[in-house]
């Protein structure tokens, strides 16, 4: 049985839901169709927003020969077969779903054919291509991000269901409700409608939706890019001292069930964003994580919420993070120099600070090449100000 989502898949770009930044008058994809040109492209964005649909619409409007492969399911042999077909016909469009999972063997056989134009690649991924796709492939492609669909886009798509299921019973209030819980994923909306259509004698109401749908389909799949967006929003809310937003995203992450990602991100935030402004926060985060692991769900929400609130309300400082990144950048660029002789392991000329007043003595520690180089700049918060002033005082 052909799925509802496939029956409703548009054949033309102008019928695609959303993506107004790419489709329409004077927009890049519409112009490519107008000029009858196509280039290597990677479409990326969350699931259910039209990546495959746009790829098929381009093939249809440009009347191009193409093959669809999945980087996970299809073998190296399948890719070699497409290459032979390309040689036979003088070129082919290869659409690769889940391109972020394409292993090195498959990438290697494609690269030279992308270079000479025998194969034009259309990649589809719900991961961030800058992180997940091989640079050699990425550099040969234009990266186009697809945006999440709005509730109005979803409503527009749902209203087209009557073209395929003319006897469906569904009022506007129900359509708006499905649009809301679909959270920008038109595939989710179509699959839910089809399930309910056959499960409730063609009549769909909010009541029977709630009977089978226990929670909204907000995007928290830990294997897809939206989950990383959630973690990013969580960190940026804490960094921005928005305690309510921080708690909101913590709640969403807890519901997703990926506690390991929450723990790792909290530790990073403690040392990257709060750092020396509240140096006790690191051990507190570790303690909260240990408590969470001991008590498990649902009690883990208590220690996590307590420490996240303190993190959001804490003064912020990225001075340590900035300092170490500057130092590593110098090292990567070869800006290092020799260790001064008097602080080498066997040097008799080293001055032991504990033998001097205030446990400090003037001597050079930096390589001569970097003498005077400053990595650490204190931020204006109580702890760093006190430490810095003390440090300056003993040097005087």
Which of 86, 8, 21, 89 has the alpha carbon at shortest distance from 52? 8
- pLDDT of res. 7: 85
Which of 8, 344, 365, 11 has the alpha carbon at shortest distance from 156? 8
What kind of fold does domain 4-145 have according to CATH? Rossmann fold (3.40.50)
- State whether residue 76 is helix, strand or coil: helix
Kind and range of the H or E run holding 223: none
Q: What is the full per-residue pLDDT of the chain (396 aa) written as tens digits?
A: 678 888 888 888 888 998 989 998 888 999 999 999 999 999 998 888 889 999 999 999 999 999 999 988 998 899 999 999 999 999 999 999 988 888 888 888 888 898 888 999 999 998 778 777 878 888 889 999 998 888 899 999 998 888 888 889 888 899 988 888 887 888 888 989 999 888 888 888 888 888 887 555 454 444 444 667 888 899 999 999 999 999 999 999 888 777 888 999 999 999 999 999 999 999 999 999 999 988 888 899 999 999 999 999 999 999 999 999 999 988 888 888 899 999 988 899 999 999 988 888 899 999 988 988 999 888 888 888 888 788 888 777
* Cα–Cα distance measured from residue 238 to residue 165, given in angstroms and rounded to the nearest whole number: 47
Burial of 237 (0-12, 13-18, 19+ CB in 10 A): buried
CATH 1.20.272.10 location in the chain: 225-313
- pLDDT of res. 221: 47
* Cα–Cα distance measured from residue 87 to residue 110, given in angstroms and rounded to the nearest whole number: 13
- pLDDT of res. 200: 86
- pLDDT of res. 223: 45
CATH 1.10.3710.10 location in the chain: 319-378
φ/ψ of 20, rounded to 5, equals -65, -20
In tens, the pLDDT along 50-81 reads 899 999 999 999 999 999 999 889 988 999 99
CB of 378 within 8 A of CB of 323?
no
CATH 1.10.8 location in the chain: 151-212
* Cα–Cα distance measured from residue 310 to residue 214, given in angstroms and rounded to the nearest whole number: 32
- pLDDT of res. 164: 83
- CATH class held by domain 225-313: mainly alpha
For 319-378, CATH gives 1.10.3710.10
Distances (CA, A) of 335 to 342, 370, 373: 21, 8, 11
- pLDDT of res. 226: 62
Which of 207, 218, 203, 151 has the alpha carbon at shortest distance from 179? 151
- pLDDT of res. 136: 83
**Residues near 205 by Cβ (< 8 Å), separated by ≥ 6?**
170, 174
* Cα–Cα distance measured from residue 66 to residue 347, given in angstroms and rounded to the nearest whole number: 70
CATH 3.40.50.300 location in the chain: 4-145
| Reported pTM | 0.58
For 151-212, CATH gives 1.10.8
């Amino acid at each position: 049985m052909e799925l509802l989502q496939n029956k409703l898949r548009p054949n033309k770009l102008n019928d695609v839901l959303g993506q107004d930044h790419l489709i329409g008058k004077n927009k890049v994809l519409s112009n490519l169709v107008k000029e009858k040109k196509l280039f290597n492209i990677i479409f990326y964005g969350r699931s259910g927003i039209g990546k495959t649909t746009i790829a098929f619409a381009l093939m249809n409007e440009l009347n191009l020969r193409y093959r669809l492969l999945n980087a996970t399911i299809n073998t190296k042999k399948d890719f070699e077969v497409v290459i032979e077909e390309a040689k036979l016909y003088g070129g082919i469009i290869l659409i690769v779903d889940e391109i972020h999972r394409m292993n090195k063997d498959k990438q290697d056989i494609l690269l030279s054919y992308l270079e000479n134009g025998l194969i034009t690649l259309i990649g589809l991924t719900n991961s961030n291509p800058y992180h997940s796709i091989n640079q050699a492939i990425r550099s040969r492609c234009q990266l186009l991000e697809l945006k999440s669909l709005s509730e109005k886009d979803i409503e527009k798509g749902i209203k087209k269901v009557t073209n395929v299921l003319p006897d469906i019973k569904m009022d506007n209030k129900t359509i708006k409700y499905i649009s809301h819980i679909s959270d920008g994923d038109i595939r989710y909306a179509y699959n839910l409608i089809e399930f309910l259509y056959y499960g409730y004698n063609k009549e769909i109401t909010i009541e029977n939706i709630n009977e089978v749908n226990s929670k909204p389909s907000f995007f928290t799949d830990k294997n897809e890019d939206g989950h990383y967006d959630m973690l990013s929003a969580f960190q940026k809310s804490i960094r921005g001292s928005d305690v309510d937003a921080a708690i909101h995203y913590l709640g969403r992450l807890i519901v997703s069930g990926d506690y390991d990602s929450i723990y790792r991100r909290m530790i990073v935030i403690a040392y990257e964003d709060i750092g020396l402004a509240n140096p006790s926060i690191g051990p507190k985060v570790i303690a909260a994580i240990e408590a969470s692991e001991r008590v498990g769900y649902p009690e883990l929400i208590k220690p996590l919420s307590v420490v996240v609130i303190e993190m959001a309300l804490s003064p912020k400082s990225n001075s340590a993070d900035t300092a170490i990144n500057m130092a590593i950048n110098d090292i990567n660029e070869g800006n290092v120099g020799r260790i001064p002789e008097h602080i080498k392991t066997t040097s008799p000329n080293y001055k032991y600070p504990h033998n001097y007043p205030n446990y400090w003595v003037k001597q050079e520690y930096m390589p001569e090449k970097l003498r005077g180089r400053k990595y650490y700049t204190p931020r204006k918060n109580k702890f760093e100000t006190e430490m810095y002033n003390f440090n300056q005082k003993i040097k005087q």
